[in-house]
Amino acid sequence: MSDDDKKPGLRSQSWFGGKGAHGFAHRSWVRSRGVPSDHFDGRPVIGICNTWSELTPCNSHFRDLAQFVREGILEAGGVPMEFPVTSPGETLTRPTAMLLRNLTSMDVEETLRANPIDGVVLMMGCDKTTPALLMGAASVNLPTIGLSAGPMLNGSRAGKSFGVKDAWKLGDDARTGLATLEDMEEAESCLNRSHGVCNVMGTASTMASIVEALGVGLPDNAAIPAVDARRKVLSRMVGRRIVDMVREDMTLDKVLTRKAVENAIKINAAIGGSTNAVIHLTAIARRMEVELEIGDWDELAKEVPTLLNIQPSGDYLMQDFHEAGGVPVIIKSLCEAGMLHGDELTVSGQTLAEANAYAKCLNPDVIFSVEKPFKSHSGIAILKGNLCPGGSVIKPSAADSSLLKHKGPAVVFENQEDLLKRVDDPDLEITPDSVMVLKNCGPRGFPGMPELGMMPIPAKLLKQGVKDIIRISDARMSGTSFGAVVLHVSPEAAVGGTLALVKNGDMIELDVAQRRLELLIPAEELEQRRAAWQAPDSPAKRGYAKLYVDTVNQAHDGCDLDFLVGMTGSDVPANQH
């Protein structure tokens, strides 16, 4: 054993506490940044894991916020060490940011374990950055605190609030001639008026709310706007708190428990959160070795009403949510109704109920009460049936309620190209009663499971005034999307799931109340088709994409790479000295 290994204390001391050549090297190279020698005297070393990138516009204020985290760490007597990780931005990354979520998680895990870090602040915002960072951190299990980006300011167009849901509608209007390209161009600058994540309850704000519900972030983490000075204060408080968490040895497993995950599922229901949360939270929980099955989403959330009136299920935007009191109001309401485990420990050092006891609803038209909820049914339903033996997901609150029990003939699209080629064909044989089916957009099939589940309503039907139609796929959909959209069909088409066997004209039955999704063909016929099915050729031939396709698990298991599930902790198995 070298002298570097002899000094007891914090993990970082096995790098910085030694008196020999290795300790010299570890300190000397860090001192090249202008760090004084007392920074190596046994103070907690805090990693600031930063997803800042100009390729991830939602996180583009993180260099600024990181300075406030740094100040907080120094104020509390810690040593900040900021580092970048892969940042999959939702809008620019091809074929889909989801493909890179697991890559980022590996980057986070390996960087944390490999370096002299005692605790970590996770700076996360745009959709995939939150689950990726939590997954990686869970597998290492250091003291960990989440800091989210916060939403961008409310969009504003022609004197009215303008959100992503309005932008989707504008896109449909452009396809049918009701809006012009000039309208679209003008709307670009109206939608995104500042740094921050999408200003509706999309995946980013859903995951930021889940960070609060899990107790992994401080109260108000999700909804303070990105550019609000209060987010800078929050960043500073996060910096202070993580130093104390290291001193208290509050590792992530003490916070991210099964009960915390149950709380997160219930909060997701109460906020009308994104369907993507089902996949991401499953992956996070399983990294932490917390059991979570897809059926738990229904079981745990069925009594929880939707309290939040926010797009895409409602009317308001994230800035309004913050001004109405934010996630703490929802947590407090559900705690008081006995729906949450209020005694769960949070990173604040208080229980969930204690940390959010101060909350006050300041706008009951934005945040409704448990007694008089915004919608009595909650956000996400899990379907089973012969079309999705592993499960599938629908967000009833975002669908035309008349479609929630429906039987209709399938109109099949074999893949994205087929969809784009034919969806607006005036000769497409489709009626409002049809069921649109899209194949080969699952984790292996695309690869990466893109957000193509909200297929565009065919122009032919839009012109008839059709506003919703049943759509079924093995894809995901954006948290900003809406409609009678069945997603995450598992097993996916590319591995020979029943979805792969659906043909044009087959009758499909959806019954959300009974949680059923069935392909109505004789079992014998289904088996004949299964025997004749041939796997499509994968486009992923090498590199990370091949690793992903070869090892990714199915949607109901969280789309993690199978060898990444679970944790190995922070010990480095072999040192070079």
Figure out which of the listed residues 10, 45, 49, 58 binds ligand FES, where binding follows CB under 6 A.
58
Take residue 353 and report the two structure tokens written for it: 């109920």
116 or 202, CB closer to ligand FES?
202
> What's the closest the beta carbon of residue 427 comes to ligand FES, in angstroms?
35
82 or 127, CB closer to ligand FES?
127
> What's the closest the beta carbon of residue 57 comes to ligand FES, in angstroms?
7
How far is residue 13 from each of residues 5, 6, 63, measured CA to CA in Å?
8, 9, 27
Where residue 188 falls (left for φ over 0; alpha for ψ -120 to 50; beta otherwise) is: alpha
Binding pattern for the stretch 350-389 against ligand FES, x by CB under 6 A and - elsewhere = ----------------------------------------
What is the DSSP code string of 439-489? -S-STTTTTS--S--SPPPPHHHHHTT----EEEESS---TT--SSEEEEE
Query: For residue 331, how far is the Cα from the chain centroid?
Result: 19
Q: Is 127 in the site for ligand FES (CB under 6 A)?
A: yes
Burial class of residue 184, CB neighbours in 10 A (0-12, 13-18, 19+): middle
Between the CA atoms of 457, 461, 463 and 466, what dihedral angle is there, to the nearest 10 degrees?
Answer: -80
Integer Cα distance of 483 and 457 in angstroms: 10
> What's the closest the beta carbon of residue 127 comes to ligand FES, in angstroms?
5
What is the DSSP code string of 294-313? HHHHHHHHTTPPB-B-BTTT
161 or 570, CB closer to ligand FES?
161
Bridge partners (DSSP) of residue 83 are: 49
Take residue 184 and report the two structure tokens written for it: 């679209």
202 or 448, CB closer to ligand FES?
202
Binding pattern for the stretch 3-42 against ligand FES, x by CB under 6 A and - elsewhere = ----------------------------------------
Give, to the nearest 10 degrees, the angle between helix 276-287 and helix 203-214.
Answer: 40
> What's the closest the beta carbon of residue 197 comes to ligand FES, in angstroms?
4
Given the rule CB under 6 A, which of 46-54, 74-82, 198-206, 306-314 is the region that contacts ligand FES? 198-206
> What's the closest the beta carbon of residue 196 comes to ligand FES, in angstroms?
8
Q: Is 90 in the site for ligand FES (CB under 6 A)?
A: yes
> What's the closest the beta carbon of residue 130 comes to ligand FES, in angstroms?
10
> What's the closest the beta carbon of residue 185 comes to ligand FES, in angstroms?
19
13 or 93, CB closer to ligand FES?
93
| H/E stretch holding 83 | strand 79-84
Given the rule CB under 6 A, which of 16-24, 196-204, 218-226, 352-360 is the region that contacts ligand FES? 196-204
Integer Cα distance of 109 and 83 in angstroms: 13
Integer Cα distance of 380 and 543 in angstroms: 35
How far is residue 122 from each of residues 112, 133, 245, 543, measured CA to CA in Å?
11, 7, 14, 27
58 or 436, CB closer to ligand FES?
58
Maximum Cα–Cα distance across the chain: 79
Give, to the nearest 10 degrees, the angle between helix 203-214 and helix 258-271.
Answer: 140
Take residue 33 and report the two structure tokens written for it: 């940044």
> What's the closest the beta carbon of residue 466 comes to ligand FES, in angstroms?
27
Given the rule CB under 6 A, which of 74-82, 132-140, 197-205, 379-387 is the region that contacts ligand FES? 197-205
478 or 553, CB closer to ligand FES?
478
Q: Is 109 in the site for ligand FES (CB under 6 A)?
A: no
198 or 359, CB closer to ligand FES?
198
Size of the site for ligand FES (CB under 6 A): 9
CA angle 394, 395, 401 (to 5 degrees): 100
80 or 202, CB closer to ligand FES?
202
* Strand, coil or helix: 56: coil
Binding pattern for the stretch 138-177 against ligand FES, x by CB under 6 A and - elsewhere = ----------------------------------------
Integer Cα distance of 144 and 136 in angstroms: 11
109 or 127, CB closer to ligand FES?
127
* Strand, coil or helix: 410: strand
Integer Cα distance of 142 and 138 in angstroms: 8
> What's the closest the beta carbon of residue 313 comes to ligand FES, in angstroms?
16
Amino acid at 445: G
Figure out which of the listed residues 66, 69, 198, 519 binds ligand FES, where binding follows CB under 6 A.
198
Given the rule CB under 6 A, which of 194-202, 395-403, 436-444, 537-545 is the region that contacts ligand FES? 194-202
Integer Cα distance of 399 and 469 in angstroms: 9
Residues 200-219 that bind ligand FES (CB under 6 A): 202, 204
Figure out which of the listed residues 63, 91, 295, 505 binds ligand FES, where binding follows CB under 6 A.
91
Q: Is 131 in the site for ligand FES (CB under 6 A)?
A: no
Binding pattern for the stretch 435-454 against ligand FES, x by CB under 6 A and - elsewhere = --------------------
Amino acid at 34: G
- CA torsion sign, 256 to 257 to 258 to 262? negative
**Residue ranges binding ligand FES (CB under 6 A):** 58, 90-91, 126-127, 197-198, 202, 204
